[in-house]
Structure 1
Amino acid sequence: MTKPKVTMQDIADHLQISKNSVSQALTGKGGVSEETRKLIIQTADELGYVYPGTRKRSSDQEDKEEAAGSIALVATDFAFSLRGFFGEIYLTIENEVQKRGKKLLIQSISQQMMKDRTLPPFIEGREVDGILILSHLSTEYMNSLIDTGIPTVLIDHHHPDVHADAILTNNRFSAYHVVKYLYELGHIRIGYIGNMSFSPSYYERLEGFRLAHHELGMEMHPKWIISDALEDQEFMETRLQGLEEQPTAWFCVNDGLGFIVNSTLYKMGYKIPADISIVSFDNGQLSRLATPRTTTMGVDLGLFGRTAIRQLFWRMQQPDAPHMELLLPTTLIERESTSVPRI
């Protein structure tokens, strides 16, 4: 009968310590005392732990790798393709990693890799000091990454079953401020357009939308809550043309939806903002290309990248500290798509 493979979790359970501490000790990282490191290594040897990715290296190579080190950045093909949003975050991360004397290793995660739980070789072999997950992967796959014991930080995504630090937009408060801004212009009939199943961010923006209506004493109209929206012209035309009447303002959870809503309403004969105001989110290129240009909630993408790196390097030194979520603010950028309602 084949003897079961000894895992880091087995060592952690044996010593009654965290798996992160075991990982830090066995990969030569900081965050544990020398006494604890020696105890972990001794226990690993006694239990028959096999070090992954083991290969013969010269002392010069080991010294260079210890001095430099690497950070992994992983995301889906789709996330990497969104250059307008995630591109600036990526460039900031690359710059910040280089400032700290480390290399950035980038890996696109395919649907097949997620299905098979296949980890990138440099993560499977624990050859990186930290992992950044950009946007959302499947919950199961993210937990496979975290289970390696390598410090991990999520960027623009979180989930109750994923126990890792996360850098997020303050979606609820941002949406709240959108509604309050429109209310102060005189709008009391406001609609929401987003897709709650696509991202937690969009669900949180609907929560902020609801909170503002509650606090401002406004009635929410279910017919104007489109929570399954697709960034597709035909879909939008079907849904908006199917309404008996329009709100005086639409809040769209991203600039792509804002752009499509704008063009759809124009085709339907409405004037923006004379008949209907539009507010979107992200301050991407589409908000500036729309006619008229769209009022939007601006996200500081550079701040996203800098905060993610700062948190990851802190986590690498504090592997056992409680996990936390950092909420970044947004800024309302008022343009020509919003005005006082014609009532």
Structure 2
Amino acid sequence: MQDIADRLNISKNSVSQALSGKAGVSEETRKLIFRTADELGYVYTGNRKRSADQAEQAGGTGSIALVATDFAFSMRGFFGEIYLTIEKEVQKRGKSLQIQSISQQMMDEETLPAFIEQREVDGILILSHLSTDYMNKLVDTGIPTVLIDHHHPDVHADAILTNNRFSAYRAVKYLCELGHSRMGFIGNTSFSPSYYERLEGFHLAHHELGLAVNPEWVVSDALEDPEFMEKRIRAMGEQPTAWFCVNDGLGFIVNSTVQNMGYQVPADISIVSFDNGQLSRLATPKTTTMAVDLALFGQTAIRQLFWRMEQPEAPYMELLLPTTLIERDSTSAPRP
């Protein structure tokens, strides 16, 4: 497929659509692809020479693939709601959902699920993190693919993302409006591009608000581990008056840690986290957080995938979804 695409200066996805008899390319382009395949000496079965009209009538395979790691599928509070929305949206469109957990061994060996290898699905949804090489292995099948809550510059596929930079910016600006000027960042930026983008939003807000960032208060290698957190925060010469945490898990641990150290939340230290998950509601006090609309994630991913299935030649795009600040009891104006 890549040889044919290179010869015709078109995308590999278009070649795949044509050879598999699916709609999405013109009949003229389809004939040109088969002619080029003949010229290059490739052999294909005659039943793949369906016209675009026949392909549309056939309706494809009738299935959509959803793949993710065991870790992502285990995060029921966040990805579970996205999955349930995807399942409903797929059924509304008269298709079925095939789900596959991708193990580390499958990524290491670049082994694709059988229903993808055998092209038994019309589209692929990748939920959260997979290795970049493995994601490209999926994209290279030519099956329309959409990434959910993850992206990478080397993966050429549509992606549905939280507007991480602007959301972090708004969180910092909110703290500033309460009167905070000494703010810290807690996250692991190497774990996810989303967390790195939230650090960028943290810096952007400080820049635009004319505030200095104290490097000691930027913990960009944080672990969701109470022992790590207490050791790291205790080692600081002085404390910020507010922490911005990239997820609710870290917000929960920071909340407990600073209270164990004798600080009051929010009287001494305010905390803002991200996601509006269960831990933000279980914390004492409950944590102010940036809420992600999980149902909108699933709806947008399906809408984009079905659009991509009809528009395989359109430029790839990233769709950024907004967040909503939910103010709870972990934030207040700093002590005078």
TM-score when normalising by structure 1: 0.92
In the superposition, relative to structure 1, how do residues 67 and 321 fare at CA in structure 2: closer, same or farther (>3 Å)? closer
1:71 aligns with 2:64: yes
1:153 aligns with 2:146: yes
The residue identity in structure 2 corresponding to 1:137 is L
In the superposition, relative to structure 1, how do residues 34 and 252 fare at CA in structure 2: closer, same or farther (>3 Å)? same
Give the counterpart of 1:328 among 305, 318, 321. Answer: 321
Give the counterpart of 2:280 among 280, 287, 299. Answer: 287
Larger mean CA deviation between 20-29 and 65-74 belongs to: 65-74
Runs of 4+ in 1 over 6 A off after TM superposition: 62-65
Given that residues 24 and 309 in structure 2 are in contact (C-alpha distance below 8 angstroms), is that contact kept between their aligned partners in structure 1?
yes
Deviations 1:18-73 (A, max 9, x none): 21111111222211112322332344355454669x99xxxxxx999746611111
1:307 aligns with 2:300: yes
The residue identity in structure 1 corresponding to 2:293 is D
RMSD (CA atoms): 1.9
The residue identity in structure 2 corresponding to 1:256 is G
**What SS does the corresponding residue of 2:22 show, helix, strand or coil?**
coil
The residue identity in structure 1 corresponding to 2:297 is F
Given that residues 147 and 159 in structure 2 are in contact (C-alpha distance below 8 angstroms), is that contact kept between their aligned partners in structure 1?
yes
Match of 2:129 in 1: 136
Given that residues 291 and 324 in structure 2 are in contact (C-alpha distance below 8 angstroms), is that contact kept between their aligned partners in structure 1?
yes
1:222 aligns with 2:222: no
TM-superposed deviation, 1:13: 2.2
Distance, in Å, in 2 between the alignment partners of 1:11 and 1:190 is 55
Deviations 1:113-155 (A, max 9, x none): 1111111111111111111111111111111111111111110
Given that residues 68 and 103 in structure 1 are in contact (C-alpha distance below 8 angstroms), is that contact kept between their aligned partners in structure 2?
no
1:1-343 pair list within 5 angstroms:
8-45=1-38, 47-49=40-42, 66=59, 69-343=62-336
The residue identity in structure 1 corresponding to 2:6 is D
Given that residues 20 and 150 in structure 1 are in contact (C-alpha distance below 8 angstroms), is that contact kept between their aligned partners in structure 2?
yes
Distance, in Å, in 1 between the alignment partners of 2:331 and 2:303 is 37
Deviations 1:301-341 (A, max 9, x none): 00000000000111111111111110000000000000010
Deviations 1:50-106 (A, max 9, x none): 669x99xxxxxx999746611111111111111110000000000000100111111
Distance, in Å, in 1 between the alignment partners of 2:240 and 2:331 is 13
Given that residues 68 and 101 in structure 1 are in contact (C-alpha distance below 8 angstroms), is that contact kept between their aligned partners in structure 2?
no
**What SS does the corresponding residue of 2:237 show, helix, strand or coil?**
coil
The residue identity in structure 1 corresponding to 2:191 is F
Distance, in Å, in 1 between the alignment partners of 2:223 and 2:171 is 21
In the superposition, relative to structure 1, how do residues 102 and 276 fare at CA in structure 2: closer, same or farther (>3 Å)? same
Distance, in Å, in 1 between the alignment partners of 2:57 and 2:262 is 66
Match of 2:51 in 1: none
Deviations 1:253-285 (A, max 9, x none): 000000000111111111111110000000000
Given that residues 190 and 221 in structure 2 are in contact (C-alpha distance below 8 angstroms), is that contact kept between their aligned partners in structure 1?
yes
In the superposition, relative to structure 1, how do residues 201 and 38 fare at CA in structure 2: closer, same or farther (>3 Å)? same
The residue identity in structure 2 corresponding to 1:149 is G
Structure 2 gap ranges (5+): 49-54
The residue identity in structure 1 corresponding to 2:240 is P
Structure 1 gap ranges (5+): 1-7, 56-61
Deviations 1:183-210 (A, max 9, x none): 0000000000000100001110000000
Indicate the percent of aligned positions where both proteins have the same amino acid.
81
Given that residues 129 and 151 in structure 1 are in contact (C-alpha distance below 8 angstroms), is that contact kept between their aligned partners in structure 2?
yes
TM-score when normalising by structure 2: 0.94
Distance, in Å, in 1 between the alignment partners of 2:230 and 2:327 is 26
**What SS does the corresponding residue of 1:108 show, helix, strand or coil?**
strand
In the superposition, relative to structure 1, how do residues 30 and 64 fare at CA in structure 2: closer, same or farther (>3 Å)? closer
Given that residues 64 and 122 in structure 2 are in contact (C-alpha distance below 8 angstroms), is that contact kept between their aligned partners in structure 1?
yes
Distance, in Å, in 1 between the alignment partners of 2:244 and 2:324 is 15
Given that residues 89 and 304 in structure 1 are in contact (C-alpha distance below 8 angstroms), is that contact kept between their aligned partners in structure 2?
yes
Larger mean CA deviation between 310-319 and 118-127 belongs to: 118-127
Distance, in Å, in 2 between the alignment partners of 1:155 and 1:266 is 36
The residue identity in structure 1 corresponding to 2:133 is E
Distance, in Å, in 1 between the alignment partners of 2:313 and 2:191 is 32
Larger mean CA deviation between 36-45 and 315-324 belongs to: 36-45
Deviations 1:138-173 (A, max 9, x none): 111111111111111110111111111110000000
Aligned positions, number: 329
Given that residues 29 and 129 in structure 1 are in contact (C-alpha distance below 8 angstroms), is that contact kept between their aligned partners in structure 2?
no
